[in-house]
Structure 1
């Protein structure tokens, strides 16, 4: 099994969905998180990853469902590696049709699902979407797959889910720090400036922020830069333009971090998404 990765994008008119088709042997994903869900089905081999304090394994016949903002990594469980297909839906897309209140109350306690029906539906939806032959059929399969995953494996969150930074005052401070970091990706505030802005010592600020996000501010900011880079690349911007716009030191710096998080280089991601969204050529008749 060689190393390959192909990204594509589906737009249903309201939401954009990124899709990854990949096989890896030596690649190791750095610890990161997503703003979206990650729903992956292994088609060959076995993957392992650290998630919520445990080492998890996902092999053929299982489904991995990772929730937004949950730190995790990823690597082969065996020397032969693994191949998988992954969907990255936003919460709005995954729970489309559910009420807002219920949407935020549903979670997935166990990230590994062994359910042949759900596995089949997710894999079929991914295959239809990446083939791009019949958008209506593909979107229908996607809706059926999401419904199966939610109805069969989603569960109501407990009243006190023990979320990080559940203290309202701490949550507000973390939100302020995030806003300041995102205000200008190219020139973030210093550690002392961030701490002073929320009236905490640098040490206390670091503890509060890491408890809430799973990352210290500098690492969280790098992951946000990668997230913004994905959006700009998907819109057609070049890697050189994106590295400058998102605060990376240079294109090589962007490439190193982008591949650690997404499994592909910025150029490969841009080309994959552009090819997937470019309308097919129309052949002229004789």
Structure 2
């Protein structure tokens, strides 16, 4: 699934666990600001991987573990012509919760996983990520994959990663969450900002500023990211791209394809082939 001599990307999907593993190399600009609905845990293999998240610039070097939470906005660039290579695992919130619960005294019912730091220079954690990736990438026997994932989560469980959900939420945060929920509920209608503001009983200029402050993107850009996350999930389940486009409010299959390739560096059909082994219709 390599795309050019300079930039390439390969993705594999472990059917029993649903975990995606990705290995890629980029020179120059790699990704515009975007987010995923999964936890991302990876290791930089070669070069310097530069990206922004949490309003900071980060540089991940060979052997550095990088960790991103669901809906955490980030981008990606190389700092020189050498580029960078990395390997990464996509873990669903449900998988993380199930595997970490036995490793904590109080379980995870009252908590959500929050990474205290985006980067970690930790050889044991890097080793665990690397070998979990290898086990999934090469489709080792299930017992080996389970052991590798257990080692990874044991390492993750040893870090101060937890934050309590029972924190005070101010009115602006609640409004931003309501706005996000409203967008999701009306995603097929392609609503305008004025319609959204009227439904939420707020000035549209204030709504736009508040939304971008809280979610990092204006409403229309955030909605595109949400649609792309849903598209990945539906394509991985075997849904036809034309049906995915219609259900998620894209103008047509070509519209979905342009956004999907821009975000994922793969066409919807090639992504689906990597996940399902269905015939490639490209």
TM superposition score category, shorter chain reference: 0.7 to 0.9
> Is the 8 Å Cα contact of residues 35 and 71 (structure 2) preserved in structure 1?
yes
Question: Please, which of 265, 268, 271 is the counterpart of residue 267 of structure 2?
Answer: 265
Provide the residue aligned with 1:8 in structure 2. 12
Question: Please, which of 139, 150, 156 is the counterpart of residue 146 of structure 2?
Answer: 139
Unaligned runs of 5+ in 1: 279-286
> Is the 8 Å Cα contact of residues 110 and 164 (structure 2) preserved in structure 1?
no
* Separation in structure 1 between the aligned mates of residue 177 and residue 114 of structure 2, nearest angstrom: 22
> Is the 8 Å Cα contact of residues 19 and 88 (structure 1) preserved in structure 2?
yes
* Separation in structure 2 between the aligned mates of residue 179 and residue 160 of structure 1, nearest angstrom: 20
Does residue 154 in structure 1 map to residue 160 in structure 2? Answer: yes
* Separation in structure 2 between the aligned mates of residue 160 and residue 139 of structure 1, nearest angstrom: 32
* Separation in structure 1 between the aligned mates of residue 109 and residue 134 of structure 2, nearest angstrom: 32
* Residues 237-276 of structure 1: pairs in structure 2 closer than 5 A: 237-275=239-277
Does residue 189 in structure 1 map to residue 195 in structure 2? Answer: no
Provide the residue aligned with 1:62 in structure 2. 64
State the shift of 1:160 in Å. 9.6
Q: Given the superposition, is the C-alpha separation of residues 137 and 85 from structure 1 closer, same or farther in structure 2, using an over 3 Å criterion?
A: same
> Is the 8 Å Cα contact of residues 26 and 78 (structure 2) preserved in structure 1?
yes
State the shift of 1:59 in Å. 1.8
* Separation in structure 1 between the aligned mates of residue 157 and residue 262 of structure 2, nearest angstrom: 30
Question: Please, which of 35, 38, 48 is the counterpart of residue 37 of structure 2?
Answer: 35
**Count, aligned residues:** 269
* Separation in structure 2 between the aligned mates of residue 182 and residue 158 of structure 1, nearest angstrom: 26
State the shift of 1:26 in Å. 4.1
* Separation in structure 2 between the aligned mates of residue 159 and residue 232 of structure 1, nearest angstrom: 29
Cα RMSD of the aligned pairs, angstroms, is 2.5
Secondary structure at the aligned position of 1:241 is classed as helix
State the shift of 1:123 in Å. 0.8
Provide the residue aligned with 2:236 in structure 1. 234
State the shift of 1:170 in Å. 3.0
Cα deviations across residues 24-68 of structure 1 (Å, max 9, x unaligned)? 224521101122211111122221101112211112111101122
Provide the residue aligned with 1:282 in structure 2. none
State the shift of 1:80 in Å. 1.8
Unaligned runs of 5+ in 2: none
* Separation in structure 2 between the aligned mates of residue 155 and residue 242 of structure 1, nearest angstrom: 35
Provide the residue aligned with 2:79 in structure 1. 77
* Separation in structure 2 between the aligned mates of residue 215 and residue 252 of structure 1, nearest angstrom: 24
> Is the 8 Å Cα contact of residues 243 and 251 (structure 1) preserved in structure 2?
yes
* Separation in structure 1 between the aligned mates of residue 12 and residue 270 of structure 2, nearest angstrom: 11
State the shift of 1:203 in Å. 0.8
Q: Given the superposition, is the C-alpha separation of residues 264 and 222 from structure 1 closer, same or farther in structure 2, using an over 3 Å criterion?
A: same
Q: Whose RCO is larger (CA < 8 A, sep 6+)?
A: 1
State the shift of 1:199 in Å. 1.1
* Separation in structure 2 between the aligned mates of residue 159 and residue 241 of structure 1, nearest angstrom: 36
* Separation in structure 2 between the aligned mates of residue 260 and residue 193 of structure 1, nearest angstrom: 28
Secondary structure at the aligned position of 1:61 is classed as coil
Secondary structure at the aligned position of 2:70 is classed as coil
